[in-house]
């Protein structure tokens, strides 16, 4: 009786502790971002590729939020991505070329699209969701194709000019500014996503993902939670699109194509879902593979990507995530042991 | 107007043949196979190669296309698909997207990226006018062939021993195994027939839909729409859905060209929102 009371209070303390503070930074995570900064300084020739990786990573991050944390399978991320890209592009042409407000416009329009279409997702299972997201993305692609006067149709949207960042840093053709900018945006978005997924809201979403019926039984409003997360994911995808527009200063219908959605999904699952870094790692790996393959077989690199994808699923796609979590656990353990031995040394004499 | 309706119906029948294999694999076996279009493309290319390069009569190439894609289907099923049945939907999606990429790039490499022209035999060309309705002979041919196939399929599924075994295996594979049904074989045969039908559809549709390496991606959405709109209770669902979509698409493209591309997607989203299990859903 007494024993169970004590156990209960300990449990309560631990749970409230977990819910109160955002998850702690691991050594590996810090090392990752330090490496990203170092990469900017040491690899000035690779800035265009790094920018592209950051863009892919944000797209995959948005998908991770809704797939990895809310369990919504989507093949239509391109809808939010493309609308964000076009909205920020049009904003820069007709209103102002200031980049940060352009990102905001991208985020808002992506979130709006996600909100308006989220209600279509609340019915039916995986297959229905796949089809509805696919259909919605196709509708937006068709709209952009038809509204030639606004979007430039098949020729793409031209004449986008972006003002210097903070009025100081010009977007140069080597992509130095664009690269630092993209990495910074990615960092801030990951930071924000960490806060969200380690909040009580994030935990309730995981409950919904794992078992919607049980989640609703313990009083979690399932549908509003799914809508909220989908909207957040949409905002992220919109930012990814806006970032693409600003760094490339050009948009074509590709931004809304099925290929884009498939790319995002592929990048995410290569890195693993449900731990936020999956998209980033996946983007890195995917870009390196694509770069290597397209230099070997410029026309047919997709063939090898397909083979990789098949092999990857057959081997098991949870492998990379297990690798990373295992690795970070080891590092944390080593670090913990080192600090413990230091404190015990300090106490011993 | 009637001519358009007829064209739409022929187009819908074609969609049905292309998608009914998917209706079985995706609908009945609950396997999300986005690579279905790749099988259709394979059938189309078989027919084009046989008629154009080897001079085989068109009608004779149709069964060859069916058999060839069925063989490929069985091979892939034994090698890969079998292991994917129990995996999550996401895994199945990724796996089949991988297959699509391989097929697209592979065909591009072997056959080139240009559109293939299929030479139809003389007696299938031209139009006749019947009671004021202009009917393309090839389209009439499509309607007849596809109609026969639809009826045959429904009869096989609903009336034969194989059909009831298949339905049993799908509903509860464990119990089906328990009563002595060879579930693995049934699934393999079904998958082969589904792929073969896709191949046949690709062969028949090469003339109307056009055939180039992007075929699986271009028409993937259409196949999926047919199946998810039609539901999976019987072959009538996909058939009705195909005809509805075919007519909607043709009429939409003719009367409201600016809206043309949307019609099919709007039908899709509307149906799925109103009836998430499809128009003709099996009772849950």
A258 and B221 within 8 Å at the Cβ level: the answer is yes
Spatial contact of A78 and A256, defined as CB atoms under 8 Å apart: yes
User: Cα(B223)–Cα(B105) distance, rounded to whole angstroms?
Assistant: 21
B94 and A73 within 8 Å at the Cβ level: the answer is no
Q: Is the C-alpha dihedral spanning B263, A77, A232, A322 positive or negative?
A: positive
B32 and A131 within 8 Å at the Cβ level: the answer is no
Mutant choice from A117, A129, A134 vs B, greatest count of B C-beta within 10 A? A134
Mutant choice from A310, A311, A319, A321 vs B, greatest count of B C-beta within 10 A? A310
B18-29: per-residue pLDDT in tens? Answer: 887 787 777 667
Torsion-angle region of B74 (φ positive above 0: left; ψ -120 to 50: alpha; else: beta): alpha
CB < 8 Å to A67, chain B: 90
Q: Is A268 on the interface with B (CB under 8 A)?
A: no
User: Cα(B160)–Cα(B172) distance, rounded to whole angstroms?
Assistant: 19
Q: Is A153 on the interface with B (CB under 8 A)?
A: no
Give the chain A residue nearest B109 (alpha carbons).
A300
Helical axes A258-271 vs B89-111, angle rounded to 10°? 120
A157-168: per-residue pLDDT in tens? Answer: 777 777 676 766
Nearest to B11 by CA among B219, B261, B245: B245
Which one of A131, A143, A306 has the shortest CB-CB distance to B98?
Answer: A306
Q: Is the C-alpha dihedral spanning B93, B95, B101, B107 positive or negative?
A: negative
pLDDT, position A69: 81
pTM assigned to the model: 0.80
User: Cα(A200)–Cα(A16) distance, rounded to whole angstroms?
Assistant: 10
Spatial contact of A160 and A89, defined as CB atoms under 8 Å apart: yes
Distances (CA, A) of A32 to A27, A29, A187, A200, A271: 9, 5, 11, 26, 14
Q: Is the C-alpha dihedral spanning B257, B258, B260, B261 positive or negative?
A: positive
Is residue B271's pLDDT more than 80? no
Q: Is A73 on the interface with B (CB under 8 A)?
A: yes
User: Cα(A188)–Cα(A207) distance, rounded to whole angstroms?
Assistant: 26
DSSP state of A254: G
pLDDT, position A347: 46
Q: Is B112 on the interface with A (CB under 8 A)?
A: no
pLDDT, position A112: 92
B42-67: per-residue pLDDT in tens? Answer: 888 888 888 877 777 778 788 888 89
pLDDT, position B127: 67
Q: B194 or A14, which is more confident?
A: B194
B141-180: per-residue pLDDT in tens? Answer: 888 888 888 888 888 888 888 888 887 887 777 888 888 8
CB pairs under 8 A between A and B: 126
pLDDT, position B284: 41
Q: How far is B179 from chain A (nearest CA, A)?
A: 30
Question: Kind and range of the H or E element at A17?
Answer: helix A2-20
Is residue B262's pLDDT more than 60? yes
User: Cα(A277)–Cα(A325) distance, rounded to whole angstroms?
Assistant: 10
pLDDT, position B132: 64
Give percent helix, percent strand, percent coil of chain B, each to the nearest 5. 75, 5, 20
Q: How far is A349 from chain B (nearest CA, A)?
A: 57
| Beta-carbon contacts of residue A200 (< 8 Å; ≥ 6 apart) | A19
Tell me the sheet residues that pair with A251.
A157
- b/e map B143-156, b = 16+ CB within 10 Å: bebbeebbeebbee
Torsion-angle region of A323 (φ positive above 0: left; ψ -120 to 50: alpha; else: beta): alpha
CB < 8 Å to B230, chain A: none
pLDDT, position A15: 64
User: Cα(A299)–Cα(B173) distance, rounded to whole angstroms?
Assistant: 43
Under-70 pLDDT residues of chain A? 1-4, 14-24, 26-27, 124, 163, 165, 167-171, 173-174, 298, 317, 320-321, 335, 338-349
CB < 8 Å to B100, chain A: 306
pLDDT, position A180: 79
Nearest to A102 by CA among A251, A220, A321, A208: A251
């Amino acid at each position: 009786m007494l024993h169970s009371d004590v156990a209960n209070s300990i449990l309560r303390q631990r749970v409230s502790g977990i819910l109160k503070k955002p998850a702690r930074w691991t050594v590996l995570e810090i090392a990752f971002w330090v490496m990203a900064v170092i990469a900017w300084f040491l690899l000035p020739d690779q800035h265009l590729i790094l920018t592209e990786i950051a863009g892919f990573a944000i797209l995959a991050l948005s998908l991770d939020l809704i797939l990895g944390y809310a369990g919504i399978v989507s093949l239509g991320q391109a809808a939010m991505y493309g609308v964000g890209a076009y909205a920020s592009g049009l904003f820069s042409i007709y209103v102002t070329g200031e980049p940060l407000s352009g990102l905001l416009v991208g985020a808002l329009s992506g979130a709006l699209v996600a909100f308006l279409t989220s209600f279509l997702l609340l019915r039916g299972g995986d297959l229905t969701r796949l089809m509805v997201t696919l259909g919605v993305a196709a509708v937006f692609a068709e709209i952009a194709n038809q509204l030639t006067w606004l979007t430039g149709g098949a020729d793409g949207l031209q004449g986008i000019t972006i003002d210097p960042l903070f009025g100081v840093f010009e977007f140069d053709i080597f992509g130095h500014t664009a690269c630092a900018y993209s990495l910074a945006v990615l960092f801030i978005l990951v930071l924000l996503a960490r806060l969200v997924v380690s909040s009580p809201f994030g935990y309730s979403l995981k409950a919904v993902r794992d078992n919607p019926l049980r989640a609703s039984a313990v009083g979690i409003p399932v549908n509003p939670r799914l809508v909220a997360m989908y909207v957040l994911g949409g905002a992220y995808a919109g930012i990814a699109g806006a970032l693409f527009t600003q760094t490339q200063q050009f948009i074509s219908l590709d931004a809304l194509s099925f290929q884009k959605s498939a790319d995002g999904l592929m990048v995410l699952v290569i890195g693993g879902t449900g731990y936020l870094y999956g998209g980033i790692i996946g983007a890195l790996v995917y870009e390196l593979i694509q770069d290597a393959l397209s230099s070997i077989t410029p026309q047919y690199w997709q063939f090898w990507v397909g083979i990789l994808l098949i092999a990857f699923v057959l081997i098991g796609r949870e492998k990379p995530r297990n690798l990373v979590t295992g690795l970070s656990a080891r590092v944390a353990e080593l670090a913990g042991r080192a600090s413990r031995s230091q404190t015990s040394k300090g106490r011993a004499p | 107007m009637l001519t358009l309706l007829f064209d739409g119906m022929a187009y819908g029948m074609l969609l049905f043949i292309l998608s009914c294999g998917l209706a079985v694999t995706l609908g009945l076996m609950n396997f999300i196979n986005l690579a279905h279009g790749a099988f259709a493309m394979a059938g189309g290319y078989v027919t084009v190669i046989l008629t154009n390069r080897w001079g085989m009569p068109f009608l004779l190439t149709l069964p060859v296309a069916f058999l060839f894609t069925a063989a490929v289907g069985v091979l892939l099923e034994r090698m890969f698909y079998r292991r994917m049945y129990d995996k999550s939907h996401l895994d199945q999606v990724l796996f089949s997207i991988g297959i699509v990429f391989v097929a697209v790039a592979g065909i591009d490499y072997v056959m080139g990226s240009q559109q293939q022209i299929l030479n139809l035999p003389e007696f299938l060309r031209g139009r006749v006018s019947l009671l004021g309705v202009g009917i393309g002979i090839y389209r009439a041919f499509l309607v007849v062939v596809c109609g026969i196939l639809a009826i045959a399929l429904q009869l096989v599924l609903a009336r034969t021993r194989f059909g009831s075994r298949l339905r049993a295996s799908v509903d509860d594979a464990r119990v089906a195994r328990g009563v002595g049904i060879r579930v693995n074989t049934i699934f393999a045969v079904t998958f082969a027939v589904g792929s073969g039908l896709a191949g046949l559809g690709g062969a028949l549709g090469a003339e109307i839909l056009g055939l180039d390496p992007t075929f699986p991606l271009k028409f993937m959405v259409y196949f999926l729409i047919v199946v998810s709109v039609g539901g999976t209770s019987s072959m009538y669902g996909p058939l009705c859905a195909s005809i509805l979509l075919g007519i909607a698409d043709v009429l939409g493209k003719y009367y409201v060209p600016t809206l043309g591309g949307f019609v099919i997607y709007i039908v899709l989203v509307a149906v799925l929102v109103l009836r998430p299990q499809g128009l003709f859903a099996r009772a849950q």
